[in-house]
Amino acid sequence: MHPTIQTIPEKRLVGQRIKMNLLADKTFDLWSNFMPRRNELQNVASPELYSIQLLSPTYFDSFNPKADFEKWAAIEVNNYSFVPQGMETITIPKGLYAVFVHKGHANDSPKTYQYIFGTWLPKADYVLDNRPHFAVMGEKYKNDDRNSEEELWVPIKPKG
């Protein structure tokens, strides 16, 4: 599994967020609240869904499944001129990302992340950057289907 390395422009998104950790996973609750309301959004830039994780700079220093992080369910918009009540804005700054394609059930994504952080990153010419991590669920994403595909975007910067 080899990533593509991409620099993205700033992205503006609107959605909902929740604080959680790996032991108290509230992903289902987050998306259950967001999906029925996604059609309220205006100025939508693209139909892809974004699952964004905001992690502390020390999140990966030592694995702790109780470490809290913020997770978002969002859609990219052209501007913030209209934000539905109960939703918020988040901006992903311009930056360099390693983009991996996860194929299969979402339940199998820990194996993909283990490869990214345990195998690929230690050997790469990059280190993690302190920017949002996110997954993009586009037209090839099929919820709970073994043929599903989603892109995993990992913020990076050159070593040194």
- Cα–Cα nearest to 143, from 102, 106, 101: 106
- CATH number, domain of 153, equals 3.20.80.10
pLDDT of residue 21: 94
8 A C-beta contact, residue 155 and residue 124: no
**Domain range spanning residue 152?**
4-158
What pLDDT is stored for residue 107 in this prediction? 73
> Helix, strand or coil for residue 88?
strand
**Per-residue pLDDT, 35:** 95
Q: Kindly list the distances between the CA atom of residue 117 and the CA atoms of 5, 96, 121, 126, in Å, as whole numbers in the listed order.
A: 15, 16, 5, 11
Tell me the CA distances in angstroms from 92 to 54, 67, 88, 126, 134, one per residue in order. 10, 22, 13, 19, 9
Q: What is the pLDDT of residues 113-146, one digit of tens each?
A: 889 999 999 999 999 999 999 999 877 777 777 7
The tens digit of pLDDT for each residue in 13-61 reads: 999 999 999 999 999 999 999 999 999 999 999 999 999 999 998 898 8
Q: Assess whether pLDDT exceeds 90 at residue 106.
A: no
- Mean pLDDT over residues 87-98, rounded? 98
Query: With a threshold of 0.85, does the pTM exceed it?
Result: yes
At 27 the pLDDT is 93
pLDDT at 79 over 80: yes
> Considering its fold, how many domains does the chain have in total?
1
For 140, left (φ over 0), alpha (ψ -120 to 50), or beta? Answer: alpha
